[in-house]
Each structure stands twice: as C-alpha cells, then as structure tokens.
Amino acid sequence: MSRWTPIIKDVMEDAIDNKLDEEHFPYLAGAPASTGARGITINTRKGQWHKDRSQQNMKDVLRLIVFIVGGATFSEIRCAYEVTKAKEFLKNLKQLSE
C-alpha cells in the first residue's frame, strides 16, 4: 500500500474518461484540423485481404500510450498497472452481467 500517488495516474484516468482539458492536451481527441493532412487512413491504402482470419475476431481496443521523458519511476509504473487493472475488472464484471 502506498500513500503518495503520482499526478500521471490522474492524467491517465482522465484521458480514459475523456475528462482532460483539450487546451492542455490537444492531441488526445485527434489531430487538429489545421494539420493539412489529406485524411487518408492506412486501412484505405492497404487491402484487407491479407489479414489472418483470427484477427477478424479481435475487437478494436483503444489504447492509451504514455511517454515519460527521462523514464518512469516505480510509482508511475504501478499507477499504470492499477489504471489498467481497474478497467479490465469493470469490463469483466460487465460480461458477467450479460
């Protein structure tokens, strides 16, 4: 048990729940409209015929990638584990109720 919780835990939880301020975290909602990109996704440039049949059964899972300049401390790694563990627990609990 730990008393101190790094701020990154709050940031990760808020990012998962879409509660972060878009002014401070502009790229979490997607790329800004003024980037000049053509908007073509990788899936439209590549065919889907080469995918393995087992991959079709996999669900698209949104992932949160956190990059910490200088490396992560043990407490920050523990927080990432706890945030992931809590979300997996809720997902499994929902499956039991269905």
For the stretch 64-93, pLDDT in tens is 788 889 988 888 888 888 888 766 656 665
**What percent of the chain lies above the pLDDT cut of 70?**
49
What integer is the mean pLDDT of 30-37? 51
Run of H or E including 84: helix 74-97
pLDDT, position 11: 92
Asked if pLDDT for residue 35 goes beyond 50, the answer is no
CA 52 to chain centre: 24
In a domain? residue 76: yes
In a domain? residue 1: no
How many independent structural domains does the chain possess? 1
Q: Which residues of 47-64 are buried (b: 16+ CB within 10 A; e: fewer)?
A: eeeeeeeeeeeeeeeeee
Mean pLDDT of the chain: 71
pTM of the predicted model as reported, rounded to 2 decimal places: 0.56
Burial of 72 (0-12, 13-18, 19+ CB in 10 A): middle
In a domain? residue 34: yes
pLDDT, position 4: 82
In a domain? residue 37: yes
pLDDT, position 7: 93
Range of the domain at 27: 7-97
Would you state the structure tokens that stand for residue 5, as one six-digit string?
């919780």
